[in-house]
Amino acid sequence: MKTSLTQPHFRGRGIVVGILIGLASAMVLVGVVAIWLNTVVYDTPTWRATSQEIIQDPAMQTQVSKYVVDQLYNPATVQNDVAGALPPQFKGFAPAVTSGLHQVAVGASERLLATTPVQNLFVTASVDAHDAFVRLIDNQAKFAKLNNGQVTLDLHPLLLQVADTAGFGAAAQNNLAPTAGQIDVMNSNQLSNVQTAVRIVHAISDWALVIVVVLFAAAIWLAHGYRRRALLWSAIGILVATLVLIFVRRILGENIVNALVSDVAVRPALITAWYIGTNVIGTINLTLLIVAILLVIGVWLSGAGRMSTSVRNRLAPWLVKPLYAFGIPAVVLLILIVWGPLPVFQKVIPVIIIAVLAAVGIEALRRQTIAEHPQAPSA
């Protein structure tokens, strides 16, 4: 009778623990997106700094240069002018000369984009588009009346600056359409579903991390008798969340840009901007990956398996002494911070999270080892 009552109760707790870990893992996704929204998307100074980083990227400068030159450069007109200037026997070379002039113009544009005044024009255009996007998210109806619900990156001043520096600013002023250089990024109809999701995430952003910690802690507390397994499930949940974030950033992000931006010529530049603008998500992904790995290692080392027990026995003389148990990992972490093999080790908050988690895990392992080797000196 006791077994028949206990077993369903055990299974019931297991289901609750699994649900809590699943919810916590889902909240990890929400929390990461919330951090990105708060620290990048909704923060104008950070967006300005990110825009500066974007335009300083060599690949981005090349793509923007090609776009700018394509807006200013009319191949048919240039080819006719070149053909008219060449002697009759050389008119057949006009297409090749035109193509060469196009490459020269792109190179000149790249050099201009490496200068601070021209970069500032790009940053200003990016910040204006950012402000339009935030207004669209926060107040769609009002913004739709003002600008037909369209978020536009206006590079028209950048075109005029490049043309003026190249020596044909007057011609550009007369010939360029007012909409030249204006890139339609997205409109309110495309964002009708996104707006709701962004507002919800933004609203719970301050509590996302607390909710994640509470859910994981509640799951592990309820898993009395199989907490090691609950920790392992938690690590797997974090790994799954990390993989989903990688998918969102790399695969889904490119698809979103392709779906929202109709101009094929500017898609590569905006995809590059997406990756740079979501560097925060990449850093958090690395932190989550390290946290999950630490959890898996801790669960394995604390297990009753022959190999994990053998490892604990070998490490016992070191683990029972705080100077070695905490000192050696601290030195390793310090080396990683100074060396910086991964960007995550250059960020204060991720390093604190890793250090605290490692310290808690080491202390738990120390206590287990001391209980298994009471004869070993602990100081």
* 23 touches 219 (CB < 8 A): no
Q: Is residue 377 part of a domain?
A: no
- Give the pLDDT confidence score for residue 21 in this predicted structure: 92
Give me the residues of the chain with pLDDT under 70, please.
1-10, 71-102, 104, 136-153, 162-163, 165-176, 184-194, 260-263, 265, 341-344, 375-379
pLDDT in tens, 95-108: 665 566 667 677 77
* pLDDT for position 2: 44
Q: Half-sphere exposure of 95 toward its Cβ, with a 13 Å CA cutoff?
A: 1
Instruction: Please tell me whether residues 225 and 127 are part of one structural domain.
Output: no
Q: Which structural domain range is residue 167 located in?
A: 44-190
> Of 160, 157, 98, 91, which Cα lies nearest the Cα of 128?
157
Residue 379 within any structural domain of the chain: no
Residues 169 and 211 in one domain: no
145 and 230 co-located in one domain? no
Instruction: Name the domain boundary from 168, 190, 212.
Output: 190
Work out how many domains the chain is built from and give that number. Answer: 2
Q: How is 3-45 classified by DSSP, letter by letter? A: HHHHHHHHHHHHHHHHHHHHHHHHHHHHHHHHHHIIIIIS-HH
pLDDT at 143: 42
Give the end of a domain, one of 134, 156, 190.
190
Asked if residue 201 lies in contact with residue 34, where contact means CB atoms within 8 angstroms, the answer is yes
Residue 143 in tokens: 């913004």
Query: What is the pLDDT at residue 93?
Result: 52
Q: What pLDDT, on the 0 to 100 scale, is given for residue 251?
A: 80
User: What is the phi-psi region of residue 376: left when phi exceeds 0, alpha when psi lies from -120 to 50, beta otherwise?
Assistant: beta
Residue 378 lies in a domain: no
Verify that 143 and 78 share a domain, yes or no: yes
Whether residues 263 and 304 fall in one domain: yes
Tell me which residue has tokens 């048919």: 76
Give pLDDT, residue 240.
92
Is 271 in the same domain as 327?
yes
| Residue 176 shares a structural domain with residue 200 | no
Q: Answer yes or no: do 297 and 221 share one domain.
A: yes
**Which of 190, 208, 243 is at the close of a domain?**
190
Same domain, 339 and 251: yes
Tell me the per-residue pLDDT of 173-230, one tens digit each, with 9 for 90 and over: 666 677 777 776 666 565 666 677 777 777 777 788 788 888 888 988 888 778 888 8
- Please check whether residues 134 and 204 belong to one and the same domain: no
One domain, residues 181 and 323: no
Residues 352 and 254 in one domain: yes
